[in-house]
């Protein structure tokens, strides 16, 4: 959108012809190979803090030239473009291809190759989304992601996205009408959630996103961001919390509660969709062991959650900045659950003892009244004399 305000008609034409990424690649190579030929007159200084070691954190200054700054901008643009392409292009394409394979009961070599490429594209987009979320939240720190962290994220996202797509395809194959309700409910829930939070906060409309954008342009950009946010959360956890009233549009506070709620609701939703598929399955699945398929898919989604917990517990590059880890939070949750259960038991026991004591009190006066009141005691002599 910044090329619209520049006098670059060729670049604008390439964007309209969908050749913008190719031109960007050509420009990146041109800047890289010509960066060492001339000395840059202007440099900028960036300051980053190191991840604390033994409670100490040092600040590092680094000189960034114009060529390096442009390369960094292009790299960030490529990362964001991979996320957009993954969830607005490859994810619907993978779902449609798998649905066709289920209906035809046949998987050709070419289609399986295309589905594998689509799945890898979605996983790569989700991985870039995780890395972008970490760098945005911890912008003031020098973040270095280790190879084991990439491996853990890859398995986490692979299990999560694959099981989600298979569940949606199985449900669509038996209940074609109701899948529209499921998709629209998921989409509009995530699309409207940031706007509802913005409306409840009472904040003014953000106007500092881009100086060259008008109010209408800002609204279009925000709608596109919420559209991408909803598309990501349709298939996997977006790793960020979109916050429109924030100047950076991203909430930097820890979102463990949203993470817990998302995966709990998504696991329950997948289980319900699989149960509906099991009860309404057609003759297409005559030779398929439906309970085994359901068990494998649920185990696969639980494996994704396990890899996520392992990543946040052991391989997150900024885990030393967490106030509480996952294991500590889980232990605290168990303690709270045990304490509340004990308190509930103690309250029930106290209520039972109070009820027993009140019953004994009610019974004791009535018996004493019958035995001790002489006016109501009639003997045999009185009856004979009467």
Whether the Cβ atoms of residue 124 and residue 82 lie closer than 8 Å to each other: yes
Give CA–CA dist 338/43, Å, rounded. 59
Give CA–CA dist 177/253, Å, rounded. 39
Range with the lowest mean pLDDT among 16-20, 179-183, 372-376? 372-376
* Mean pLDDT value of segment 307-336: 75
Give CA–CA dist 159/156, Å, rounded. 6
| Residue 351: pLDDT band with limits 50, 70, 90 | low
Does residue 189 surpass a pLDDT of 80?
Answer: yes
Question: Which residue from 199, 218, 216, 198 is spatially nearest to 208, judged by alpha carbons?
Answer: 218
| Residue 116: pLDDT band with limits 50, 70, 90 | very high
248 Cβ partners below 8 Å, 6+ apart? Answer: 136
The gap from C-alpha 246 to its chain's centroid, in whole angstroms, comes to 19
358 Cβ partners below 8 Å, 6+ apart? Answer: none
Does residue 100 surpass a pLDDT of 80?
Answer: yes
Domain boundaries, the chain: 87-335
């Amino acid at each position: 959108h910044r090329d619209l305000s520049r006098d670059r008609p060729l670049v604008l034409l390439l964007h309209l012809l969908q050749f913008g990424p190719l031109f960007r690649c050509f420009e990146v190579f041109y800047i890289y190979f010509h960066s060492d030929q001339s000395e840059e007159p202007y440099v900028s200084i960036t300051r980053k803090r190191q991840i604390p070691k033994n409670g100490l954190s040092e600040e590092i200054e680094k000189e960034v030239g114009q060529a390096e700054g442009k390369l960094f901008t292009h790299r960030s643009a490529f990362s964001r473009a991979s996320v957009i392409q993954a969830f607005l292009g490859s994810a619907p394409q993978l779902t449609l291809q798998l649905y066709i394979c289920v209906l035809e009961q046949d998987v050709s070599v070419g289609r399986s190759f295309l589905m594998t490429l689509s799945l890898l594209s979605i996983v790569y987009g989700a991985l870039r989304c995780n890395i972008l979320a970490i760098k945005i939240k911890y912008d003031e720190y020098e973040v270095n992601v280790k190879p084991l962290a990439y491996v853990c994220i890859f398995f986490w996202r692979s299990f999560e996205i694959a099981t989600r797509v298979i569940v949606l395809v199985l449900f669509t194959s038996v209940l074609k009408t109701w899948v529209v309700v499921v998709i629209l409910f998921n989409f509009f829930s995530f699309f409207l959630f940031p706007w509802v939070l913005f409306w409840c906060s009472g904040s003014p409309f953000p106007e500092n996103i881009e100086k060259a954008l008008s109010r209408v342009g800002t609204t279009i950009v925000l709608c596109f961001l919420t559209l991408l946010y909803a598309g990501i959360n349709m298939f996997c956890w977006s790793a960020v919390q979109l916050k429109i009233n924030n100047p950076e549009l991203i909430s930097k506070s820890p979102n463990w509660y949203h993470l817990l709620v998302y995966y709990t609701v998504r696991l329950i939703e997948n289980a319900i969709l699989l149960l509906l598929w099991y009860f309404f399955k057609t003759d297409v699945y005559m030779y398929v062991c439906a309970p085994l398929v359901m068990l494998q898919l649920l185990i696969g989604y639980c494996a994704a959650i396990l890899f996520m917990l392992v990543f946040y517990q052991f391989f997150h590059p900024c885990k030393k900045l967490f106030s509480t880890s996952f294991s500590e939070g889980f232990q605290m949750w168990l303690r709270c659950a045990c304490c509340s259960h004990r308190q509930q038991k103690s309250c029930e026991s106290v209520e039972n003892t109070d009820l027993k004591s009140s019953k004994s009190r009610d019974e004791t006066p009535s018996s004493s009244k019958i035995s001790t009141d002489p006016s109501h005691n009639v003997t045999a002599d009185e009856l004979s004399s009467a």
